[in-house]
C-alpha cells in the first residue's frame, strides 16, 4: 500500500517553535527521507474559522505566514503538496456524510475539544462547526488516503476519531477508506513544548511563544526571561529539572555537537543536568547556551524566510498549484465514497434498468 502523509496547521498566527519540534521538523525529515509516496501539507483555514467566525481577516492574513514558515523550515513544494483547506470543497461534502457515522456523545468525549472549549471560554454557546471539527478533520485525512499523520499529542483524539469513522464506513459500505496512524515526536520534550512562562501550552494569546521567524534580539530576551526552577536562587543551590522550561527546550533542541561549539566544559546535556541538580551552575549560563542553540537552529530558517519574502507571488502560486493537485485527489476519493454509499444515481446503469424492470410488468 502507498505510504501517504497528510498533516496541517490552522493559520491563526505565525508558527512557533512548539509547532517546529512537535511536527514541522519531522515532516521535513520524512519528506527528505524519500520513503513516502505522497506528502500533503494543509493550511487548515476552514478549521481555523470554526472558532474565528468573527475574525476572517486574521485567518486570511496568516495563510501566507504559515506558507512562509513551512517553506523556510524546509518543506519543498516540488516534493510536498502544500494547499489550502477551503479550496477543496470536496472536503465539506465528505464531512456531511461522515457526520452520520458519529454520535454527539462521541464528540463530547473528545479531550482536545474539551480543553479547547475551556480555553476559548465558549461557555454554553459552542459553535456547531467547532464542535464538529473532528469530523471535518477525518475528511482531511481520508480524502488523501493518508496512512500517516505526523502531529503533536493534541491531535491524537482527532486521529482516533478518524479511525473510528473509517472503520464504521468500511463496515457499512464496504472497504473504501484507509485507516491512518498518528506519528508522534519520539522525544518527550517535543510532544508538548511549554511556553516560555512554563505554562503547559505555547499560545499566542498567552504571549508565551517563541516564533520560528523570531528576531534574534527578541529571541534572546525571551530566552533570558524563561521560567526555570523558582527555588534555585543562589548558584550553589541544587536545581530541579522537573518543570524547568529551559531544560525542556534543551531536551528538544540540543545535540552533543552544540556543546563542543558553545560550552566545551561539558560533553553533553546529561553532564550539564548533573551539574545543575548537584548545585553550582547558574541559570544564566544555561540560558545563554539555550539561546546559542536556538539561534544556530533557527538562523537558516530565518535566512530562507527573508529570501522567500522577496517573492510573495511565488508563495501564493505554490498554494494555488498545490490546491489544484489536492482537489483532484479529494474529488476522486469523494467519487469512491459516493459510489460506496450508492449515491451515484446517474452513472449506475443497473439502477436505471431495475427501475425500468419494476414498471414494465
Ligand atoms: N487540528 C490541526 C491544528 O490544530 C490542524 C488540522 C486540520 C490537521 N486538519 C488536519 C492536522 C488533519 C492533521 C491532520 O493545527
Domain boundaries, the chain: 4-192+312-353, 216-308
3-state DSSP assignment of residue 192: coil
For residues 133-159, one letter each, b for 16 or more C-beta atoms within 10 angstroms of the residue's C-beta and e for the rest, the string is: bbbbbbbbbbbbbbbbbbbbeebebbb
What is the C-alpha to C-alpha distance for residues 12 and 19, in angstroms, rounded to an integer? 13
SS3 readout for 198-213 = CCCCCCHHHCCCCECC
Ramachandran angles phi, psi of 5, nearest 5°: -105, 135
Report domain 4-192+312-353's class. alpha beta
Ramachandran angles phi, psi of 236, nearest 5°: -70, -20
User: Tens-of-pLDDT digits for all 361 residues of the chain?
Assistant: 899 999 999 999 999 999 999 899 999 999 999 999 999 999 999 999 999 999 999 999 999 999 999 999 999 999 999 999 999 999 999 999 999 999 999 999 999 998 888 888 777 788 999 999 999 999 999 999 999 999 988 899 999 999 999 999 999 999 999 999 999 988 888 888 899 999 877 877 788 999 999 999 999 999 999 999 999 989 999 999 999 999 999 999 999 999 999 999 999 999 999 999 999 999 999 999 999 999 999 999 999 999 999 999 999 999 999 999 999 999 999 999 999 999 999 988 999 999 999 999 7
β-pairing, 81-84 vs 148-150, is: unpaired
Smallest CA-to-CA distance from 222 within 186, 252, 197, 185 is with 197
CA of 247 from ligand 1 middle (Å) equals: 28
CA of 279 from ligand 1 middle (Å) equals: 43
What is the C-alpha to C-alpha distance for residues 229 and 246, in angstroms, rounded to an integer? 9
For ligand 1, mutation pick of 6, 7, 83, 141 (most atoms within 8 Å of CB): 7
The CATH code for residues 216-308 is 1.10.240.10
For position 240, what pLDDT does the model report?
95
13 Cβ below 6 A of ligand 1 = no
For position 111, what pLDDT does the model report?
93
For position 224, what pLDDT does the model report?
96
What is the C-alpha to C-alpha distance for residues 324 and 318, in angstroms, rounded to an integer? 10
What is the C-alpha to C-alpha distance for residues 155 and 8, in angstroms, rounded to an integer? 11
C-beta separation of 80 from 41 below 8 A: yes
C-beta separation of 65 from 13 below 8 A: yes
What is the C-alpha to C-alpha distance for residues 188 and 309, in angstroms, rounded to an integer? 33
Amino acid at each position: 500500500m502507498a505510504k501517504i502523509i497528510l498533516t496541517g496547521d490552522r493559520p491563526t498566527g505565525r508558527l512557533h517553535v512548539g509547532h517546529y519540534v512537535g511536527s514541522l521538523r519531522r515532516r521535513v525529515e520524512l519528506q527528505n527521507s524519500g520513503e513516502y509516496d505522497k506528502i500533503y501539507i494543509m493550511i487548515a483555514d476552514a478549521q481555523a474559522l470554526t472558532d474565528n467566525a468573527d475574525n476572517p481577516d486574521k485567518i486570511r492574513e496568516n495563510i501566507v505566514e504559515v506558507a512562509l514558515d513551512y517553506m523556510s523550515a524546509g518543506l519543498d513544494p516540488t516534493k510536498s503538496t502544500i494547499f489550502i483547506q477551503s479550496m477543496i470543497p470536496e472536503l465539506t461534502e465528505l464531512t456531511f456524510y461522515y457526520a452520520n457515522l458519529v454520535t454527539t456523545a462521541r464528540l463530547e468525549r473528545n479531550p482536545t475539544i474539551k480543553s479547547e472549549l475551556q480555553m476559548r471560554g465558549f461557555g454554553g454557546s459552542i459553535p456547531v462547526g467547532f464542535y464538529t471539527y473532528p469530523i471535518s478533520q477525518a475528511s482531511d485525512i481520508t480524502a488523501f488516503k493518508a496512512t500517516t499523520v505526523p502531529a503533536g499529542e493534541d491531535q491524537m483524539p482527532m486521529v482516533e476519531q478518524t479511525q473510528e469513522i473509517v472503520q464504521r464506513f468500511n463496515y457499512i459500505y464496504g472497504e473504501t477508506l484507509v485507516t491512518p496512524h498518528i506519528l508522534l515526536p519520539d522525544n518527550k520534550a517535543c510532544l508538548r513544548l511549554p511556553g516560555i512562562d512554563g505554562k503547559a501550552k505555547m499560545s499566542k494569546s498567552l504571549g508565551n511563544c517563541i516564533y520560528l521567524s523570531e528576531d534574534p534580539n527578541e529571541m534572546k530576551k525571551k530566552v533570558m526571561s524563561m521560567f526555570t526552577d523558582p527555588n534555585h536562587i543562589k548558584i550553589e543551590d541544587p536545581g530541579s529539572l522537573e518543570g524547568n522550561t529551559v531544560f525542556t527546550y534543551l531536551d528538544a533542541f540540543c545535540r552533543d555537537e552544540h556543546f563542543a561549539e558553545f560550552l566545551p566544559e561539558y560533553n553533553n546535556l546529561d553532564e550539564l543536568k548533573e551539574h545543575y541538580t548537584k548545585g553550582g551552575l547558574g541559570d544564566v549560563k544555561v540560558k545563554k547556551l539555550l539561546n546559542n542553540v536556538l539561534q544556530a537552529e533557527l538562523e537558516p530558517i530565518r535566512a530562507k524566510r527573508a529570501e522567500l519574502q522577496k517573492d510573495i507571488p511565488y508563495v501564493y502560486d505554490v498554494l494555488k498549484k498545490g490546491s489544484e493537485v489536492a482537489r483532484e485527489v479529494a474529488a476522486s476519493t469523494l467519487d469512491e465514497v459516493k459510489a460506496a454509499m450508492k449515491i451515484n444515481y446517474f452513472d449506475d446503469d443497473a439502477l436505471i434498468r431495475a427501475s425500468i424492470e419494476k414498471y414494465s410488468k
